[in-house]
Amino acid sequence: MQKIIINPSYGGTSSGIINGKFIAKNHNLEIGKAINQKLKDLGVNSYLTRNNDISLSNQQRLNIINDIVNSNDEAIVVTLEIIESNESGSQIVYSLRNNDTLSRNITDAIEGTGQTVSKFYQLRNPNATYEDYYEMIRELNNTENIIISLGNPTNSVDNSFLLNNIDKLSTNIANSLNDYLTKQNIYIVKRGDTLFSIAKNFNLTVDELKKANNLSNNALIVGSELIIPKTKELDIDTTGNDEDMNMYVNYTVKSGDSLYSIANKYNTTIDIIKDVNNLTSNVLSINQVLKIPTSTTSNITNYNNYTVVKGDSLYSIANKFNTTVNDIKNINNLISNNLSIGQVLKIPNLEGSNQQEENYSNYIVKAGDSLYKIASLYQTSVNAIKELNNLTSNNLSIGQVLKIPSYNQTNNTYKTYTVVSGDSLYRIANKFNISVQAIKDLNNLTSNLLSIGQVLKIPN
């Protein structure tokens, strides 16, 4: 059974930040109750750790959550917190053991209300870097956990927004959580995806992904749907038989272990173990638990060389060679996304990947779209889109995937816009009457995060 538990922080004698009419404990409870009710209206099994103004210790909250979540339940715990910060906008913290899919969904939902999300991120315990900083995430190993801080109430703009947009925020967050529950087992193939990169992202092997989707080869079609089977982590005896492993497994570090010895034991690489476990150094602690990928998921056997040219980014190169940014960083031992002109990169040559650059991007038709509107948005012609997609009429259907001729950057014209405090992609797109995706495509953005002073290209 899938459940969502809303955990409004503070309460009783713990008020949290107070600024004017804003009182953190009251705001968290009010929006928590609103999200809970909207989820129930959507048919979701939703619960609150508190539904009135009472004091609860972290241990009491953990006890309440554990009472709600049975051993066979799949549950998401959403803690509503005000994270003290000098930054404006919302923040989202997600668990080290989870991917960022839910955080990205909620980021889009919050920004859809007009509120900026300054960042979503993971935070390690400085005293034990293999575990999460926040107790509400760290102590709930059997659930997916996020902390949402909806704004900085000491900032006048955020303060006003938080007080006056509870219904809008709660509606969007509830819808996002419900969508995540109902759609998390389906993945839409994007340009640049391979079975290897998708399997890695969801802690699966390529064979598991192919079996779940009855695939006979590794070819993928952009826009198609893949079933993502549920994964489970296995606690294993480190003396066991490696040949039986067919998914990520847990390994407990013992005296004398090193990343090199563990990588050799499981036929993987140090960089892949570090990437899977979000490690920033090679230092290990006794009893630290590592996720170890099987040899099937970690085997990049050959590669091509690519020399970086002006205008390149890891994102554009990954798209060009039908791979992922993480795979390029792993094989080249890169710790940042910075590149230099003339730098030679190894490019993973994965089975089933298409190394030829495609001359189009993909666009999913939404309500209100027309060929004329899409052609204007991407500075191409209706006939060019029809020819590339073999269309015999101008009729479109919602959800249809269109190939869009790529921008010719030498001939394409655009204006520039400098990001200011309070901006989001949603606000900027509305300002210029274009889509968020059009801005992301033109600027090679992989997320909705912006920084003050950032210069964006805006399609004319």
CATH number for the domain spanning 219: value is 3.10.350.10
Mean pLDDT on 16-42: 94
Q: Is residue 440 one of the residues assigned to a domain?
A: yes
Q: Residue 302 carries which side chain, given as an amino acid letter? A: N
Total tally of structural domains belonging to the chain: 6
Q: How far apart are CA 274 and CA 333, in angstroms?
A: 11
Q: Which of 183, 217, 243 is at the close of a domain?
A: 183
Size of the chain, expressed as the number of residues it contains: 460
| pLDDT for res 186 | 67
Do residues 140 and 24 both lie within one domain?
A: yes
Could you say which DSSP state residue 216 is in? S
| pLDDT for res 418 | 84
pLDDT confidence band for 294 (50 / 70 / 90): low
Q: Is residue 377 one of the residues assigned to a domain?
A: yes
Structure tokens at 62: 């953990």
Q: Is residue 298 one of the residues assigned to a domain?
A: no
Q: How far apart are CA 306 and CA 347, in angstroms?
A: 7
Q: Which of 158, 183, 208 is at the close of a domain?
A: 183
CA distances from 418 to 53, 156, 414, 428 (A): 44, 22, 13, 10
314: left (phi over 0), alpha (psi -120 to 50) or beta: alpha
Transcribe 338-371 into DSSP letters: ---TT-EEEEE--TT---SPPSEEEEE--TT--H
Do residues 242 and 311 both lie within one domain?
A: no
Q: How far apart are CA 286 and CA 264, in angstroms?
A: 18
| pLDDT for res 267 | 63
Contacts of 99 (CB under 8 A, 6+ apart): 201, 202
Q: Is residue 104 one of the residues assigned to a domain?
A: yes
Q: How far apart are CA 340 and CA 330, in angstroms?
A: 17
CA distances from 256 to 139, 223, 259, 278, 291 (A): 28, 47, 10, 21, 18
CATH number for the domain spanning 165: value is 3.40.630.40
Pick the more confident residue, 216 or 267. 216
| pLDDT for res 298 | 41
Poorest-pLDDT segment among 96-100, 303-307, 446-450 = 303-307
**Signed CA dihedral, 326, 322, 455, 342: sign only:** positive
| pLDDT for res 326 | 67
Mean pLDDT on 110-133: 87
Poorest-pLDDT segment among 56-60, 288-292, 293-297 = 293-297
Do residues 59 and 17 both lie within one domain?
A: yes
| pLDDT for res 59 | 92
Do residues 106 and 125 both lie within one domain?
A: yes
| pLDDT for res 131 | 86
Q: What is the mean pLDDT of the chain?
A: 78
- Is 12 within 8 Å of 148 (Cβ atoms)? no
pLDDT of 239 strictly over 50: no
Do residues 207 and 96 both lie within one domain?
A: no
Do residues 393 and 416 both lie within one domain?
A: no
Do residues 250 and 217 both lie within one domain?
A: no
Give the CB-side neighbour count of residue 205, counting CA atoms within 13 A. 16
Q: Is residue 355 one of the residues assigned to a domain?
A: no
Give the CB-side neighbour count of residue 70, counting CA atoms within 13 A. 4
Q: Is residue 63 one of the residues assigned to a domain?
A: yes
Q: How far is CA 305 from the centre of its chain?
A: 29
pLDDT tens digits along 48-87: 999 999 999 999 999 999 888 875 567 899 999 998 878 8
CA distances from 255 to 109, 252, 270, 288 (A): 46, 10, 18, 11
pLDDT tens digits along 298-317: 444 456 777 777 767 777 77
Q: How far apart are CA 12 and CA 55, in angstroms?
A: 4
pLDDT of 185 strictly over 70: no
Mean pLDDT on 423-439: 80
| Start-to-end Cα distance in the chain | 49
> What is the rounded radius of gyration, in angstroms, for the C-alpha atoms of the chain?
23
Q: Is residue 354 one of the residues assigned to a domain?
A: no
Do residues 338 and 415 both lie within one domain?
A: no
Containing domain of residue 80, as a range? 2-183
Contacts of 124 (CB under 8 A, 6+ apart): 96, 130, 131, 132, 133, 278
Do residues 389 and 420 both lie within one domain?
A: no
283: left (phi over 0), alpha (psi -120 to 50) or beta: beta
Q: How far apart are CA 453 and CA 456, in angstroms?
A: 9
Do the strands 401-405 and 74-80 form a parallel or antiparallel pair, or are they unpaired? unpaired
| pLDDT for res 6 | 97
Q: Is residue 93 one of the residues assigned to a domain?
A: yes
Q: How far apart are CA 95 and CA 120, in angstroms?
A: 11
Do residues 218 and 245 both lie within one domain?
A: no
Do residues 16 and 37 both lie within one domain?
A: yes
Do residues 255 and 315 both lie within one domain?
A: no
Q: Which of 197, 212, 227 is at the close of a domain?
A: 227
| pLDDT for res 78 | 97
Q: How far is CA 142 from the centre of its chain?
A: 20
